[in-house]
Every structure is written in structure tokens, then in C-alpha cells.
A and B are shown apart, each in its own frame.
Chain A
Amino acid sequence: MKLSFKWLSEYVDLSGITPEELAERITKAGIEVEHITDLSRGIKNVVVGLVKTCEPHPDSDHLHLCQVDLGDEVVQIVCGAPNVAAGQKVAVAKVGAVLPGDFKIKKAKLRGQVSEGMICSLQELGVDGHLVPKEYADGIYVLDEEAVVGQDALPYMNLDDVILELDILPNSAHCMNMIGAAYEVAAILDRVIKLPAPSVKEIEQKASDKIAVQIDAKDGVPFYGARVIENVTIAPSPRWLQNRLIAVGIRPINNIVDITNYVLMEYGQPLHAFDYDRFGSDQVLVRRARDGEKITTLDDQERTLSAEDLVITNGERPMAIAGVMGGAESEVTNETKTVLLEAALFDGRSIRRTSSRLGLRTDASSRFEKGIDPNRVMEAADRAAQLMCELASGTVLQGIVQSGEAQVPPRAISMPWAKINAVLGTSLSKDTILSVFRRLRFQATIDGDALTVSVPSRRPDVAIPEDLVEEVGRMIGYDHIPATLPEGATEGKLTDYQKKHRMVERYMTGSGLYQAVTYSLTSEDKVGAVSLIEGEGFRPIKLSMPMSEERAVLRQSLLPELLDVVKYHLNRHMKDVALFEMGKVFLTKEEKLSQQPVETERLAGVLTGYFRPDDWHHDGLKVDFFAVKGLLEGLMALLGLSDRISFVPSTRKGLHPGRTADILLDDAVIGFLGQIHPVLQKTLELNDTYAFEVDLRTLLQSEVPALRYRSLPRFPAVTRDIALVVDQDVSAGELTEVIQKSGAPLLKEVRLFDVYTGERLESGKKSLAFSLTYLDPERTLTDEEVTKVHNQVLNELETQLGAVLRS
């Protein structure tokens, strides 16, 4: 909402306050002033000039030589505007003036003729070209006859005004018009308000002789009123009216249209003027549109309507889309003689649906949507009729032909007055509270404990006691509310889950993986590329109206987007990437969601290139399966789950079949790690890349016994190394398991320290070397005791897995 400082000062005394101060006060009272625009834009030295003579330039087919009286001097100005003529009063930028865009006016010679200044168009003075009246759109602007030669020209064009642009939120719709803004400003400044009091001169003939009004959609149209104004003369509006419209961002068209727009801005009441003779009947019928019904609106677009839209018809065809835009068929033209003026109340929700479905938001629709003052409808109609009489020499027929009810009584709100202090944390007196409502011009009384406030209909946003609390708070100023700390003490702490979550983050970053945050929305073809839940019958969850194919489906895995991040780095010649992410995935087996999907949290990572780079005397550590496995083993140790975790070979979509393991917690698969399948790597243009994904929720929610200290061994341990030869298909895991089981309880630790395959072994065989540590916490083990257990281990290895000691 553009608020004109000059226009506003007609209703409220703004003396002694600058536009900047006013903006600050309004903002602090809750309606943010987003911009302050000084329409003069710093222009000086632009004065009223009288074009005394205007001759064609001797050496040009389009330039004119003008002698212009500037009051204290007469200068020659070369002017190229087609509409310049002798006798006009114009805005002249004198030599030395600076116009917007740092355009300096200098004495010049144009085709041999001296030019001392410039006759200005509105655009040259900084007015948006879209707002300039058509007749001046391509030429200079002509001032009113009353303009005094030699005076500053800016006030004649209202360019000495300042515009405050208000950010209108749903609760400040009452400031979307000058009168509403005037109430607000008068309350903020605690000053007197003067409002227009329309008085219409009506002739005896009744409007109802010419038009009838019927509403067939009462639920959407509480009130419809029509006035008839005859014998209007269509002409440009007077300059003051044009200036005000331009200042608030509306282009002047002609007096009738301008008057409806002016009253819209003044009262906030959308009005529509039909050409009575082109309306096509003597009956206004307001109804719901028929599905597929068509209308061509004022902007010459054909619109297809639906049964939820409200339309104004002549009994047959729609003449306007109610509250949104008029139709071209009954538009006011230069030939219009009789105006049918509509002043109505339409249901905001219905208007909102229609305007959003048609993609057609207008000054009218946005006001209906936010709610208008029903008590002002008739007054606005009178105001417009009065202006049509005064400015378009129309004759106003008697009465407003109406249907429905526009008047609503003020809303009474009662509450204990102490509640205001209780909610704000203040100790305001009764008088202070009452004075706020007096400033707002709300009737208010305090009787005992009870405060009763009668809220006028112009403030539909004030409906409940809390709204009254807000009015008091914002009028006294939030600066005057103390800052206190709550009285009750509560304990604040992270849950175990949240603590572990942070531990995992720190572990991952401490291990060299950067934390990434990717989008939850991905594409349908990527969603299942690599995923923990592959093959379990989960279906992608699609948005009903995605903005793009790239972001159309909710992720089921963090990996597809993380792989894109890897690719991003490769494309920029960063070959070493180590990233992890913790975030939700969205799982459902339903084809069409009937309830919220399962949201579970995952931890995923991608690694490629060097985990640790080459340095000047050591080779770097390249990422491989075991680097990632070690990372995850460390994680499991951190979470106290090492003993319950196992890694088993696995095949998964998108992963290398020989280099993938599922991660089991007890017996349940909770994650995987592996190399991205070479075919997928090629498609995605990746180097060798390793990835993992685990179900974080399961990991972090697993119950872990409380940590307990174990006393240090007091007796020495005995270590024996063995090198075993086994068939290629016997895994290290199997060997370790047999060793652990058969060596218990004296065997405390098994460490694999070498793996060998090669020519020194029979083909199909490999050798693995283990270091076994035996310990009895109660005493020193004898050699015989160790040998006995050790031999038992070797026996079991041979019987169960065919493992023999390497000779």
C-alpha cells in the first residue's frame, strides 16, 4: 500500500512531523514501512513556464523553437515533443537543474539554435511511464491554467509528495485505504482526524426506475448496491485527482474510472462503473457462474469461469467477475452517457479462490480477500456519485438500489482489564488503557474488573480479547514493555538420542568427512539408484505438483544426492571427496499415500580419491573398502555396539557385487558399505567411489549397557603368532570366529596381521597370519596351559575350515 504523505495530511494534522519520523512511528506500531520514496527525487530548479511562442525549428522536421516565460526571464528552448504548443503552462528544467538519472541540464545548441533549459515530460521527472496518462505518454506534461509562472513546478505535479510504502499483513488490511490509514496514524500520533463527509445532490427520478438488483448467491454476496448517474461527460480527470492516483501507483484513465479508483483508495471500497446503455438490461442479477461460462474482462482476455465464481450478470450474460474485474462488454468508454455504479460486499474467500484460480489479482480482489468495512459501502457509493456529479457533470438518480444488508453493528469484546497487564507483563493503569482505546476511536468502558470495548467494523482484525491486548501493546509501544525472565525453572538438556547424534557428527568430522546437507527432494530416476531399502517393496513418494523433474520425489536414501555432490567436485577437479550426511528418508509401501510415511534417519557417506593425500615423504592413503569399514568399526565402538555388529558379503543394486557388505546389528541388516558398481560409476562419471548408509535411528536407539571399568591385568599375557593356509573361499571372518570360540575363555584377543596369496603357495590357497593373545586375569599362565588351548584352536581350525599351519 502506497501512502501519500500529502494526501494523508488532509485527514490528519501532520504538522511538525517528517515523513521519516512518521514511518518510524508507524513501523513501531506494527505496520512496517518498507520504503520511503521522495517523489521529488532531489529535483531542483524545475519551474512553471509559459510557452509564449512555438515555431518549427528551421533546420528540423520535428523540433520546435519555443520562447518560454519563466517569470524572471524569457528563454529559448528547443523542444522535440509533438504536443508542445503556444499558451501551455509547462514544467521547465532550468539550466543547472539535475533530473533523475543524474541528467544535468546545460545551455546547449541544437541544430544551430540556442536552447536554455528543457520542457519536461513526467517520465523525465522520474514518474514511471506506466502511470503517465495516455495523452502525455509520448510528450511533455501540460500543467493546469492556474499554475503560477516562475514558481516551483513540482507541487503542481504532486512531485513534492513523499510516499510511504506499507507492508500490509492480514491484520493490517484496515490500512489499505487512506481513511483507514488516517485512523491508524491519528491513533499513533494521538491527533485529531478529519474525514470527508460525502453529500450527494440527487434528482427526483428514482434509480429504481432504471435498474433492479437481485442476489442469487446470498452466501457469497451479503450486499449489492447500485446507483445510476446520468448525463456524464467523459473527460480526463482534474489534475489534482490524476496526481493523487499517480502518486499511489494508479494510471489515470478518464474521470469515471478515476473516480472509482480514487474512492477505492480513499475508502477501501472496490467500486465498478458499468456503461448503463451497454449493460444490456435493466436488471442486475448476481449469481454463481456456470461451469465453462465465458467472459472477456477489461484487459481483453477471455476467461473461463467455474461454478464457484461469483458473477454480475444482466440476467443473461456475465458483465463482470464479482470483486475481481469488470467485463469488456459493458466497459465505460468515451461515449458513455449513463453510469451504473456498483458498490457491493463479496465474500473474501470466494474472491480469493476465483482470483487465484484465474491468476488475476487486482486492487479490488486483494481488498475483498482481506476484508473491507461493510459500513462504508454506501458511503463510498455516495462519495463516488458526488464526485461524478462534480467532476463529470453527471446527474445522480435518487437512492441506492440494493439487496442484502451492509450495516453491521460494532463488535463488543469484554475481558478482565487486568488480563492486559498479565499478558504484557506491564502495570498500566485503567486510564492508560482507556486512553489507548480513545486514540483508536473504539468505545471502551471499565466497570469493576470488566473492560468492554466496542470495535468498529473497520477493524475486522480485532475480534478477541488477545487482539485488544495487542492494540494496547502496540499503542504504548513494545519499547515500554519490560524485559523479564520467566519465573518457573525447568531443566533443559539433550536426550540420549540427540547427544549421540552430536557424537556421531563429531566422530565423522574428526575422521576427515565433511558434513553435507542435500535436498530431500530428488528425481524419480535417481531415487532408487542405491538404497538400503532396495527390494523391500517401498514406493517413491511423488509431489502432486513438483516445480521440476529434478525435485519431484522424496528421497529414500541419502546416497543419490551425495553422489551428485561427488560428481560436482570431480567436475571442478577436486578428486578427493569424503562426505557424510545425517538426514531423513521417507518410506511407504502405499501407491497413493493415505497417511504419513515412515520417516527414519540415516547416516550415509561417500568417499573417493585419497582419504589422506600424498605428502612430501609419504604415500597418501587411497580410499578403499577397508578404509570405510574401519571408519564404521570405529563408529560402532563409539556407540558401544562393536560386539553386536558383523559384516557379511552382500549384493545390492548399484554396488560392486564383490565389494559390498551388509552391516548387521545382532541379526538385522541395519546398513551396508561397498564400492559403487563400476557400471553406475561410469554412468555417473565417477572415479572409484565407496559409499555407506546405515539406519541411524536403530543405531542410536540401541540400548547399550552402562559403561563399567574392568580392572587392569596383573599377570602377563602370552602371545602366539600363527600363519594358516586355507582355501581361497575361506573368509577371515570365519577363521576369526573359530579361533575366538575355540580359544575361549583364555584367548583374549585375535589380530589378523598378514594376508598372502601368490606363487609360494599352492594355487587356490591363501595364507592368513594371526596374533593370538592368551591371558588369565587371576594368575600367570604356564607354557603347557597355553599350548593346550592353542593346540585346541589349531585342531578346530583344521577340522572346521581345513586350515593348516604354514610350514
Chain B
Amino acid sequence: MKDQLEALKSEALASVQEASDLKTLQDLRVKYLGKKGPITEVLRGMGKLSPEERPVIGQLANDIRNAIQAAIEDKQRKLEEEAIQKRLASETIDVTLPGRVMPKANIHPLTAIVEEIEDLFIGMGFSVEEGPEVETDYYNFEALNLPKDHPARDMQDSFYITEDLLLRTQTSPVQARSMEKHRGQGPVKIICPGKVYRRDNDDATHSHQFMQIEGLYVDKNVRLSDLKGVLTVFAKKMFGEDRDIRFRPSFFPFTEPSVEMDISCFRCKGDGCSLCKHTGWIEILGSGMVHPNVLEMSGFDPKVYTGFAFGMGPERIAMLKYGIDDIRHYYTNDRRFLSQFKQV
């Protein structure tokens, strides 16, 4: 009987070794270790053995059983491992193929510039105000110290709808309207972005429609030095800490004194090039202390309040910042243009 068991063991182990798939292995498990299997058979016939032989054979049968069991399990792991390897090999992809396109676009570069400027000034305590694009002559001109026949009106030819209504030529009317809303009580600390319109033929540097951002800060004791301080912070953040900034006197009807702010040229760093017309400086914004007439017309007492105002053109700023060469691109909306501003 011992020999019989030993023969069974070698046979079973050989079969397990040969098994090449899990199904065969399962069949072998049933065949050798199942209830009707040979080992069970052997154990069942134990009764015929002598009491001395019984434990010996019993022990042997169990050992063989365990050995077969272990061999099957071992084989099973191997086969499973092989199967996974095979599957993974068949599932391998070419990771250099292009990724699937997820639709993703971006905002308009002008929006990007405007929001960047808004955020810079919000950080300095300004809020954002908007106003109508069809304005009255009063708010567009007169409330800004530009009476009819004022020579400065020459500086901006306008689109009139009626004698009294026109497309605003500047966002400054929003300042006048905001001041009126405050009823003579400061502080007023706002920036006003928006579209403006002037009678210009569209070409590479002119557009009949463009954007402006203006700012206004009216309070007691606002000084020209504050204008310099606030606009310097703005310019450094917007254009880089290494830019030189220059303030020089200028003229605007709604400010007195008036100030022009230049920054050192982006391209030549101040040495002089075609971008800065060989001056080393680039004009960025106009500003000044709010004219007492403007304060007064909007209900603020110029003896008590002073303020500063400034204005700039997002188109021009984006052109300088990104090297855009034609203002018309902003309004043509060519996808090949728009899609270049993903990062902004």
C-alpha cells in the first residue's frame, strides 16, 4: 500500500507539473484530492490494515495529500502570474500617441488685461464701477470741464446720435456719475473699465472702438504724491519690478495738475529703439489731480476734497506686453489669435 501511495504521489506531481492552464489544474485537484480521489480511497481502505500500519500509512497519505495540494497551489500561482503577464503584454499602448482633446478655450486678451488691472487696484482698496456707453453730452464732456467749444474737444471726434447723446469717448463719465452718487461724501475709490468710441478710421494703430480703464480716488487730503505712490505700485506689478517709472507734467481738461506716466521701454530697457521712438520711454497712462470744477460739478467741495484720476488703454498695454502689432486683431477674433492667450 505504501508503494501504491508513493506511485500515486509521483504521478500526481508529474501531472501538476505538466498542467498548462488553470482548468487542467482544477481537474487535477478534483482527480487527486476530491472525495472520490485515490487518496480518499486509500484512507477508506485503512480498516484492513494492522493497527501498527494504520498510523504510518495514515501519516503518509496525509503527507502525500499535502504535497499534492502544495504543488497545485504553487502551480496555480505560476499560471495566474503568467496569465497576468500575458494580459498586460496584450494591453500595452503607445503612450506617445496624442492625448484626447478636451475642449478648453480662453478669455479674450483684453478681458485678461482688464481683469489683471482690476485685481491690482482691488488689492489697493479700489472697487469696480461701470456706466452707460451711450452718454449725454453733459456727462461725457461738460461735467469733465469740457464745455462746448472747448479746444480740447478737438482731441476726440465723437459719434453723436442726437445733439445731446453720443457714444462715450472716454470712461470718465463713470467718474462723474459715481461722484454724484456719493453726494459729496468721500472717499470715492473706483476704477472704471469699459468700451469707448471715437471717430477714427480703423488701421493698425487706430480703432473706432477700444477700451479704457480709468481710476478715481477722491477723499480729504489726497495728494499728488499719493498718485505717484499708487501708480508706481501698479506699474511695477503690471510691468515688472525692474521698470523705471517717470512722471511728467501734461494736460487734460479734467485734471490740474496733470501727469503723464512713462515706463522704461520693454524692448530696449531704456536705451532707445523703434518701439519707444528712441526716447527710452513708453507712455502708459495719463493722470492728474481732479480739476476743482469737476469736483464741484459732481457735488464735492474742492476746498475740502482733493483727488486723483488716471486712465489707460488696455489695447495698448496688451500690445506692449505681448508684442501685438495690429489693434484690429482684438476685434477680428481670429481663433489663431485668440488661442495664443491660454496662459493669461
Interface residues of A (CB under 8 A from B): 27-30, 32, 169-172, 348-349, 352-353, 369-370, 422-426, 464, 466-467, 469-470, 473-474, 478-479, 481-495, 498, 502, 505-506, 508-521, 541-547, 551, 554, 565, 568-569, 572, 574, 577-579, 583-584, 586, 592-597, 599, 611-613, 615-616, 618
Contact = CB atoms under 8 A, between A and B. Distances in A.
22 contacts: A30-B250, A423-B224, A464-B292, A473-B257, A474-B249, A478-B247, A483-B228, A484-B225, A487-B221, A492-B122, A492-B126, A492-B189, A511-B103, A511-B105, A518-B331, A519-B209, A519-B331, A520-B133, A593-B161, A594-B162, A599-B133, A616-B97
A798 B111 CA distance: 53
B247 A597 contact: no
Contacts of A487: 221
A579 B151 contact: no
Contacts of B98: 615-616
Interface in B182-198: 187, 189, 195, 197
Nearest to A516: B333
Interface residues of B, number: 85
B335 A486 contact: no
Nearest to A469: B257
Contacts of B238: none
A541 B247 contact: no
A180 to B, nearest CB: 15
Given A492-B189, A505-B111, A510-B104, A423 B333 contact: no
B209 A478 contact: no
B338 A514 contact: yes
Contact of B111 (A349, A474, A515, A592): A515
Interface string B148-160: 0111101000011
Nearest to A471: B257
A613 B251 CA distance: 54
Contacts of A565: 332-333
Contact of B208 (A29, A481, A518, A521): A521
4 nearest CB pairs, A to B = A512-B103, A425-B225, A30-B249, A425-B223
Given A490-B189, A511-B103, A513-B105, 10 more contacts: A29-B249, A170-B152, A422-B223, A474-B249, A483-B228, A505-B111, A509-B106, A586-B133, A593-B161, A596-B134
B148 to A, nearest CB: 9
B134 A599 contact: yes
Contacts of A616: 97-98
Contact of B105 (A369, A512, A615): A512
Interface string B84-114: 0000000000000110111111111011000
A583 B110 CA distance: 13
Contacts of B134: 541, 554, 586, 596-597, 599
Nearest to A551: B208
A474 B119 CA distance: 32
Contacts of A521: 159, 197, 208-209
A523 to B, nearest CB: 14
B125 interface: yes
Contacts, number: 246
Contact of B132 (A513, A546, A577, A599): A599
Contact of B292 (A466, A470, A484, A498): A466
Contacts of A482: 225, 228-229
B266 interface: no
Contacts of A470: 249, 256-258
B162 A593 contact: yes
A12 B260 CA distance: 27
A466 B291 contact: yes
A430 B110 CA distance: 48
A543 B161 contact: yes
If over half of B's interface residues share one DSSP class (helix, strand or loop), that class is named, otherwise mixed; here it is mixed
B224 A473 contact: yes
A547 B208 contact: yes
A490 B215 CA distance: 15
Contacts of A495: 127-128
B189 to A, nearest CB: 5
Given A492-B125, A568-B334, A597-B134, A516 B149 contact: no
A488 to B, nearest CB: 6
Nearest to B99: A615
A515 B133 contact: no
A449 B235 CA distance: 37
A498 B128 contact: yes
B23 interface: no
B248 interface: yes
Given A170-B251, A486-B222, A520-B133, A545 B103 contact: no
Contacts of A593: 161-162, 165
From B128, B160, B224, B339, name the one whose CB has the most chain A CB atoms within 10 angstroms. B224
Contacts of A29: 248-249
Nearest to B190: A492
Contacts of A494: 118, 122, 127-128
A491 B121 CA distance: 11
A484 B250 contact: no
Contacts of B332: 565, 568
Contact of B333 (A370, A467, A579): A579
A508 B108 CA distance: 12
Contacts of B110: 517
B201 interface: yes
A515 B128 CA distance: 21
B233 interface: yes
B187 A464 contact: no
Nearest to B186: A488
B306 interface: yes
Contacts of A578: 103, 105
B244 to A, nearest CB: 11
Contacts of A28: 248-249
A369 B256 contact: no
A593 B289 CA distance: 35
Contacts of A595: 165
B105 A424 contact: no
Nearest to B217: A486
B135 interface: yes
A47 to B, nearest CB: 31
Nearest to A517: B108
B225 A426 contact: yes
B224 A425 contact: yes
B160 A544 contact: yes
B239 to A, nearest CB: 16
B136 interface: yes
A170 B132 CA distance: 28
A721 to B, nearest CB: 30
A622 to B, nearest CB: 13
B13 interface: no
Contacts of B121: 492
A423 B295 CA distance: 14
Nearest to B220: A488
Contacts of A513: 105
Nearest to B233: A485
Nearest to A510: B104
B113 to A, nearest CB: 12
B268 interface: no
A470 B290 CA distance: 12
A514 B331 contact: no
A418 to B, nearest CB: 12
Contacts of B123: 492
A521 B132 CA distance: 15
